[in-house]
Structure 1
Amino acid sequence: MTSVCIYFQVHQPFRLRRFWPDDRSGFFRYFDERCNREIFERVARKCYIPANRVLLDLLDRYKGEFRFSLSVTGTLLEQCELWGKDVLESFRQMAETGSVEYLDETFYHSLSSLFEDKTEFIEEIREHRESMSDLLGVKPEVFRNTELLYNNTIAKLVSDLGYKAILTEGADHILDGRSPNVLYKAKGSGLPVIVRNYKLSDDIGYRFSARWWEGYPLTAEKWASWASGINEDCINIFMDYETFGEHQWEETGIFSFLEKLPEEVLKTHLDFSTPRELVEKYSPVSEIDIGDFSTISWADMERDTSAWLGNDMQRRCFEEIKLLEPFVRKTEDPEILRIWKHLLTSDHYYYMCTKWLGDGDVHSYFSVHSTPFDAAVNFMAVLMDFKAQVFKKLSAIA
């Protein structure tokens, strides 16, 4: 029997305010409290609350036959604690069903795995693991990195931390003709690697409401028939949770699709499994070898790091943040360290992307900036002011 492995990424960043120095201090000197609350509450109303309700109903209806996995970033958990306790409670209810597997990742949805020194990366993983235990009562056993960023070094570190598997993108140039519907193992560590079937994932996540698409309109029955044509180990469907109600509005029929999907899938030879269950059921068929300079992700057509580090603005901002790390740590100030960690969130760099073309609407979604250049200028203004605050603190304790 072929297993359908569904994974949803749940994330919202703390966006920067349009910066101008004033008398504010602390975290909200740099991050826009009003804007972030408004966006969170809108997405909760359109996506998190109705999608969680649908999924909880399905979990109750199918009594263990319908299973899936979620990864909730630390930044989203923080926003739930601030503005959405009901959302947090519904995620906790999912955990209690025993049919939902929660995954670990970096707390800040950051680019820390791309640092040469992996200290920050490890810290963020441990912070996320602690939050998942404290807030949701779970101890994740499988890891997904920010935006599915992956290479051999990342896999080795994740393996050393005791995780049973890692998720990443089924990029064509990496698979080189091989199927995404089997397990692989990482070169060097042997860690099981679960790769995304991007076509069947994007049929839902991106093309669901596209009237130009030959597959439109997409029904649960049609999607299940496509999936049932695969007679391999697993079909790994990874997508943003905001697909439901936010990227694909309720009016498109996306919630109706979600409600009917388990029934249509279970009519076929397919079943549902979580990532941990895949590792228990199947063995890797071959090795994936991805060097540090060939890091892959699930972003854009290139499936690499160019969505965040593809232009000089992005690279300059990222390098400046990295260079500031030893000085931030030397302050031993929890608030300064927290601000610095939130400045590592990948979204800030994503908003600076100039690879418009077909990806432009993706990069501008949820951005509060009018252009990528505006995003870069604002980020650098924040960074320069924050740097001054860091060195002011160091001078005071010298």
Structure 2
Amino acid sequence: MKAICFYFQIHQPFRLKRYRFFDIGNDHYYYDDFANDDIVSRIARNSYIPAAESLLRMIDESKGAFRCAISVTGTALEQFEHYVPEFIDLLKRLAETGKCEFLAETYAHSLSSLADPEEFAAQVKAHDDKIEQLFGVKPKVLRNTELIYCDEMAPHIYSMGYKGVITEGAKHILGWKSPNYVYAAATQPKLKLLLKNSKLSDDISFRFSNPEWDAYPLTADKYIDWIASTPADEQIINLFMNLETFGEMQSRDTGIFQFLEALPRFARERGIDFWTPSEAVQKLKAVGELSVMHPISWADEARDTSAWLGNKLQQEAFDKLYSVAERVRLCDDRRLKQDWNYLQASDHFFYMATKHFADGAVHSHFSPYDTPFQAFTNYMNVLADFIVRVEEQYPLTIDNEELNSLLTTIRNQEREIEQLNKEVSSMRQNLEHYNEEHLLRQKQTETAEKPAPAKKKPGRKPAAKKA
């Protein structure tokens, strides 16, 4: 039996307003609310809402045979709640079907997994909590930002409670191997890997409406035939793409929605199932271990992290941001922590990519800046003001050694408090148990000491009268 595993990504960052050098220290609000409202509302109207409605119809018309997964960032959810709450309602309906799985990921679509494991774990937990709060489900499979993954992350991801992670089926990692199997992480064999089939995914995402493509036009029956013709022992075809592929990257008039909704019918005719990532991880055994020594992603031909950290501008901004991570975690300022989340979004670093600007197309579609240098300057101005606010909480004159000592003391105190709470809880349970036993013994004693009721002596029968 062959199965398709569909996963759709939804992310929107909080875009920064034009922030000048002279604003540093004077203006602590960094976001372009007009742009955020306009972009999120437009994409929701053109893509997210009609795509979610299509998924609901596909689940309903297939009587639950069609299944898929969605990964939606916390920053996107916050904007949907504010600007397009009707889309949140559609996501809730998808969750209620039980046929749409919600994946774990970083709350702010950050690159924290490359710099700060503690921050990475905190963001994933915050995201899980948000998903559970809104949709009543707890994610079981992790999708890291931009499908970033490497061997070093696997033990950490598994220790966080996830049995599977989805990532890119990068050719330089796979070699002769196929992405259409489940693999085990080389550094944690209990963690299973689901790999994106780039060719089949990109046929929909990028080539669907290209008249110069030799397979144009792409129809649902042709596409399912391609999947059915893969070797019989290749059991899982992972199709990973942005949800905005439908209606935004590929406009409605290309027929993309009709294509999507026709897939379950042709898949059923060819005996092909649809599975969620959790089902694939549960049902399929790993065919072997896969080693990924250096971080991979689903971006560009290189499938590495150079889209976000490939030049000196990006690296300087990235290092500067995470240099204050420990200090931010120590503070209790809610607004400061919110800004910390928003400033970690990978988009800010993507806008600084010079290689994307060279080819123009990708950069111009996503970036609100004219050049990567404008993106860098604007971000660094915002970051400078943010760091001033952090320094007001924990001055940068405190060196890292002193700060680490302070953190160690705080963590030791937290562990001591946790241990004391456990001891108090145990003592309460023992006390309750003692009270129950004491009451039981008291009742038994009272019963034993209570005199037994006197027995009535049998009366004599009256003598029979003589006649």
TM-score (norm 1): 0.95
1:282 deviates by 1.1
CA contact (8 A) 2:357 2:364 kept: no
- The Cα offsets for residues 143-189 of structure 1, whole Å up to 9 and x where unpaired, read as 11000000112221111111120000000000011010000000121
1:287–1:363 CA distance, 2 compared to 1 (3 A) = farther
Match of 2:176 in 1: 177
Counterparts of 1:127-138 in structure 2, within 5 Å, are 127-138=126-137
Match of 1:156 in 2: 155
Could you tell which deviates more after superposition, 383-392 or 1-10? 383-392
CA contact (8 A) 2:24 2:382 kept: no
- Give the whole-Å Cα distance in 1 for the aligned partners of 2:338 and 2:330: 13
Could you tell which deviates more after superposition, 365-374 or 345-354? 365-374
- Give the whole-Å Cα distance in 1 for the aligned partners of 2:196 and 2:368: 30
1:101 deviates by 0.9
Match of 1:271 in 2: 273
Between structure 1 and structure 2, the one with the greater Rg is 2
Match of 1:347 in 2: 347
Counterpart residue identity of residue 146, structure 1: T
Q: Secondary structure at 2:391's aligned position in 1?
A: helix
Counterpart residue identity of residue 290, structure 2: I
Counterparts of 1:223-262 in structure 2, within 5 Å, are 223-230=223-230, 231=232, 232-262=234-264
Match of 1:72 in 2: 72
- Give the whole-Å Cα distance in 2 for the aligned partners of 1:363 and 1:241: 19
CA contact (8 A) 1:133 1:139 kept: yes
Counterparts of 1:213-232 in structure 2, within 5 Å, are 213-230=213-230, 231=232, 232=234
Q: Secondary structure at 1:194's aligned position in 2?
A: strand
Q: Secondary structure at 2:108's aligned position in 1?
A: coil
- The Cα offsets for residues 201-252 of structure 1, whole Å up to 9 and x where unpaired, read as 0000111111111111111111111111112111000001110111111111
1:340 deviates by 1.4
1:23–1:358 CA distance, 2 compared to 1 (3 A) = closer
**1:338 maps onto 2:338 in alignment:** yes
**Which 4+ stretches in 1 moved above 4 angstroms?**
22-26
- Give the whole-Å Cα distance in 2 for the aligned partners of 1:24 and 1:95: 44
Match of 2:146 in 1: 147
CA contact (8 A) 2:25 2:385 kept: no
CA contact (8 A) 1:300 1:359 kept: no
- The Cα offsets for residues 345-385 of structure 1, whole Å up to 9 and x where unpaired, read as 10111111111388642233232111111111111111112
- The Cα offsets for residues 77-111 of structure 1, whole Å up to 9 and x where unpaired, read as 11111111100010000000011111100011000
Q: Structure 1: which 5+ residue stretches go unaligned?
A: none
- The Cα offsets for residues 299-351 of structure 1, whole Å up to 9 and x where unpaired, read as 11100010000000000000000112233234321211111121111011111
- Give the whole-Å Cα distance in 2 for the aligned partners of 1:337 and 1:67: 36
- Give the whole-Å Cα distance in 1 for the aligned partners of 2:77 and 2:65: 28
Match of 2:51 in 1: 51
Match of 2:447 in 1: none
Q: Secondary structure at 1:304's aligned position in 2?
A: coil
- Give the whole-Å Cα distance in 2 for the aligned partners of 1:326 and 1:364: 35
CA contact (8 A) 2:24 2:384 kept: no
Counterparts of 1:1-398 in structure 2, within 5 Å, are 1-20=1-20, 21=23, 29-115=29-115, 117-190=116-189, 191-230=191-230, 231=232, 232-291=234-293, 294-356=294-356, 360-394=360-394
1:269 deviates by 2.7
1:54 deviates by 1.2
Q: Secondary structure at 2:323's aligned position in 1?
A: helix
Could you tell which deviates more after superposition, 90-99 or 248-257? 248-257
CA contact (8 A) 2:353 2:372 kept: yes
- Give the whole-Å Cα distance in 2 for the aligned partners of 1:266 and 1:125: 36
CA contact (8 A) 1:143 1:165 kept: yes
1:358–1:270 CA distance, 2 compared to 1 (3 A) = farther
Counterpart residue identity of residue 164, structure 1: K
- Give the whole-Å Cα distance in 2 for the aligned partners of 1:24 and 1:33: 19
- Give the whole-Å Cα distance in 1 for the aligned partners of 2:39 and 2:286: 41
Q: Secondary structure at 1:71's aligned position in 2?
A: strand
- Give the whole-Å Cα distance in 2 for the aligned partners of 1:221 and 1:131: 38
Counterpart residue identity of residue 380, structure 1: M
